[in-house]
Structures are given as structure tokens and as C-alpha cells.
Amino acid sequence: MTKPITYYDIKFTTGLCSSPNTWRIRYALNIKGLPYKTEWLSFLEIPKVLEANGTPKTDDGYTLPAIVDPNTGKAIQDSIPIMEYLDAQYPDTPQLLSAETKEAQLAFINGVGKKVNMTRFPFSIYQIFLITLPEDQGHFRTAREKNFGGRKLEDIEPQGEKREAQFEAIKAALDAAATAFDEHAQGKTFYGGDAPVFVDTDLAGTFMCVKNIHGEDSELWKFMIAQNGGRWAKYIEAMDKWTSGQ
Ligand SMILES: N[C@@H](CCC(=O)N[C@@H](CS)C(=O)NCC(=O)O)C(=O)O
């Protein structure tokens, strides 16, 4: 019997998964039906725990998602290698990033998928700060303000005309996602057709971050799920059975 995989996710005061990268693996484990248990880590705990359990470092140091599989002793971080490991190690589960689909899927993820995530991000960054654990706030502020060219987190959410333009940019990104889905899935629900693949964990993960960070009554969530004739509301509903945690 498969022993539960340890899956590391980032701990926020809400207790909800709020990182698009960790959402990819949370969805993947649920879609594959693999037993797992979530270990929630503060930002400050991530390097300590990953170093202690022997997870190899990447160029970005230690980040989440990460897993430890007690069935093989493997400790891995970074969503794409984790996804490939789970496909290879558990071949009888749905294959989410097969060799034949990898190039097309990564093109979506690094293009349209990234655009959807990054266009909503200026609205989210300060809201994420507000739900980081008190002990993480210094680290989070320093690291993220550096990413935003030294701007204060409080000043990043666009206002006035810039706000309208940012909503337009989200709309354009979702239009591009709708076109890519139509071309690829030809009327089926998921990018993968009748069943989800890696792209679906990525795009739905961005939506779930908005839902968990901003809430269903927020302007941003309502705007995003209303685009493209409401197809994304139906899409998130279809992904819903794989959102619950273990
Ligand atoms: N390429 C990585 C990126 C992971 C990543 O950047 N994770 C962020 C959270 S979204 C993180 O753990 N950051 C740690 C920190 O900021 O200290 C992946 O896809 O897994």
C-alpha cells in the first residue's frame, strides 16, 4: 500500500493554500488520488525544514512546493520536477505532464498561464502580506519589495487609470487562455480534454489563489470569473472535486 506523501505548503493566517506553485502540486496529488498529508510551513521554516530533510537546493534556494515520498525516500522541490516524478513513479495514475504533451504545456504555462497570474499579482501582493504570519512579515516585505523595484507593498495595487488598464490586462490574458483552450481542448472542459493535465492545475491554481486571498465577494474574483461568458466559473466548479486538502 502506498504510504502518504508529505506535501509542504505555505502557512498563512487564513489556513488556505494561497500560492499558485503549491496549488499545482495540491491539485496533482488530488487528481492522482495519491495519499498525502500537508505540512504547513512558515516562510522562515522553509529553508530549515527542506535542508534538514535532504531536499536538493535549486538556483532559487529553498522554495515550496516540495514533497517527501516515504515510499522511495525521495525529497524534491520545484513544481515541474515534482510533477514529472509523480507521473513516473505512479504510472497507473492520471499522467499530467507526459513527454508528448510537455512542450505544448510548458509553452502555455510560461506564456499565457504566467500572464494570467502576473496580471492579477499587483492586486494581490499587499493582500498576501496581510495574511502572512507575523514572524514572516519582515522576510516577505524585504523579498517582495525588492522584486517590485523597491516600491512599498502598500503602493503596488494600481489606482485610477492604471487600475482600469490592469483589469484590461487581466482580461486580455484570460482571452488568450480561452483561445488556447478552444484550440487545444476543442469544446471540452479541461485543457487536457475530458480530464485535467498540468496546465489545468496551473490556471485553476491562479484562480484559487484569488479566491483564497481576496474572497468571493472581491472585485478581482468577480471580474475574473465573469470573463469569457462565465466559462471560468464553470471551469473552477469542474476542478472543485480536486481542491480539498488532506
Ligand atoms: N519554480 C518554483 C517556484 C516556487 C516559488 O517561488 N515558491 C515561492 C512561493 S510562491 C516560495 O516558496 N518562496 C519562498 C520565499 O519567498 O521565501 C516552482 O514552481 O515550484
* Residue 146 domain flag: yes
* Residue 30 domain flag: yes
Tell me what pLDDT residue 187 has. 86
Last residue of a domain, one of 65, 89, 113: 89
Last residue of a domain, one of 63, 89, 115: 89
Last residue of a domain, one of 67, 89, 111: 89
Ligand 1 centroid to residue 148 C-alpha, Å: 16
What is the number of structural domains in the chain? 2
242 in ligand 1 pocket by Cβ < 6 Å?
Answer: no
Q: Using an 8 Å Cβ cutoff, are 233 and 204 in contact?
A: no
* Residue 229 domain flag: yes
The atom of ligand 1 lying closest to the CA of 79 is 20
Q: One-letter amino acid identity for 216?
A: E
Same domain for 27 and 78? yes
How much is the average pLDDT of 201-229? Answer: 98
Choose the residue to mutate in 9, 50, 64 for probing ligand 1, maximizing ligand atoms within 8 Å of C-beta.
64
Task: State pLDDT tens for residues 151-194.
Answer: 999 999 999 999 999 999 999 999 999 999 999 998 899 999 99
Rounded distance between C-alpha atoms, residue 122 and residue 195, angstroms: 31
Alpha carbon separation from 178 to 83, 133, 175, 199, 231 (Å, rounded) = 24, 36, 5, 13, 9
Ligand 1 centroid to residue 79 C-alpha, Å: 9
Under the banding of pLDDT at 50, 70 and 90, the label for residue 246 is low
